[in-house]
Structure 1
């Protein structure tokens, strides 16, 4: 079994290896936020067979990685997990036996209203679960408030509203997030079948990971969590099975470092040992 490594050997790095074994590099209770975007059990091609399990095997594997990853969270740590409607009920029940559920978030992917099934309603959302380990979990709503537009603020100009924090700082994003998926021409788009938008991951990090805290992503994919963590001045650690995706992550982080006009708080990770 992989032993726990010194912090400078795993912090701000992505390892090209299986997360179930790889997380043993990280000491228990070290992680502030766990963002998990695992295979959905839909048969997607990630350059391997990781998404081609039958239902029973998929749920068994899910329990395996959850049991390996959750001990890494601090007592006040949080978990966001991306799922689809197919398996979210079973996995939410699994997690409720280990954590407290705070939200079910619906990500409206803004899929155009064309095509789709003729035998059921078209699925145009992902399900996201927010779970926490303890009552004192970190949550910074002010960091993710959505500003009101000028017209809305003007309409609420009565003395009753003057100086109201919610009016000046913006409103709670609520539990339905309408954020466009990354279409082929999107400037963020990488060659990955289920890449998540930076806007969503940055919201999670700003709300649920304190400044200079640590984010763990067991399924890095295109590396959006690592990029978002760097942009938000947080540390990260992650795992990815596909060597091509590891190279993609390295390139994205290199481009971020070049584009930044401010010094980064961490050294650039060495990827894919």
Structure 2
């Protein structure tokens, strides 16, 4: 039964994850509440520290069995809780990277008692040593000047020079400010650029991406754009409607493109 594929379930992930068959998902992208008291239209981000960490462990233990042996997990976190959660995950998986997302926040004041926080932490974890990872799909092209500077004979035909370099573990991608063309009505929406990089690198074409906290639906939109399948959960009915709207708009745009090509 594949009724769970390419569907967003408007319910608590804790209630619905059991519906996802074991070892059926290629990639989990999780952007859970950070425990900072954000307003998601409910009390999901208003737990005390101990309760928050207990809740994190609860959904993680429900989600990980859905991964295939070659599967991976990317998890967005705040620096306030990433140490504890990384330790928790290291007991269950192998950590591959700690990625720093530089949100390109402009300098506009802030606290005078500490350095301004302008990044999110992303953990990349895998189930086994032979995990799926397609570096070529996410290489960053060199500019013409760099290629010219490496035009000596020893570099001619070098794959890395033609295809680009391996993305570093600091991703400098602007947050979605209020006027950004991608921006939807969600307080912590992630950029497509980041999520698409995760999907292209860590989910094979046609594979399945699971997002336990769909929010604005960026993971589902990115999966469709990248030729993958998706599934996931969202507790807030308003966000479920937003996701449906974004997916419908994507489908309509694809239909218009087909008509134009025809």
Q: State the TM-score, normalizing by the size of structure 1.
A: 0.93
After the TM superposition, which residues 260-271 of structure 1 pair with which residues of structure 2 at under 5 Å, given as runs? 260=254, 261-262=257-258
Q: Distance in 2 between matches of 1:48 and 1:57?
A: 16
- Show the counterpart of 1:195: 189
CA deviation digits over 1:143-187, x for unaligned, max 9?
000101111111111111111111100011110000000000000
Is 1:175 aligned to 2:169, yes or no?
yes
Mapping for residues 50-129 of structure 1, pairs under 5 Å: 50-129=44-123
Deviating 4+ runs (over 6 angstroms) = none
Q: Deviations over 1:101-149 (max 9, x none)?
A: 0000000000001211100000000000000000110000000001011
2:211 corresponds to which of 182, 195, 217: 217
Q: Residues 226-269 of structure 1: CA distance to partner in whole angstroms, max 9, x if unpaired?
A: 00000000000000000000000000000001111259xxxxxx
- The CA RMSD measured in Å over matched residues stands at 0.9
Which of 126, 137, 144 is 2:131 aligned to? 137
CA distance in 1, matches of 2:9, 2:142: 41
1:258 corresponds to which of 247, 252, 259: 252
Cα distance in 2, alignment partners of residues 160 and 109 from structure 1: 38
SS of structure 2 residue aligned to 1:160:
helix
Aligned counterpart, 1:14: 8
Determine whether 1:151 maps to 2:148: no
Unaligned runs of 5+ in 2: none
**Aligned residue pair count:** 257
Alpha-carbon distance in 2 for matches of 1:97, 1:25: 25
Aligned positions of 1:226-245 closer than 5 A: 226-245=220-239
Partner Cα separation in structure 1 for residue 96 and residue 79 of structure 2: 18
Task: Select the structure that is richer in helix.
Answer: 2
Helix, strand or coil: the match of 1:102?
strand
After TM superposition, the score normalised by the length of structure 2 is 0.97
Q: Distance in 2 between matches of 1:262 and 1:101?
A: 42
- Distance in 1, matches of 2:186 and 2:151, equals 46
Secondary structure in structure 2 of the residue aligned to 1:238: strand
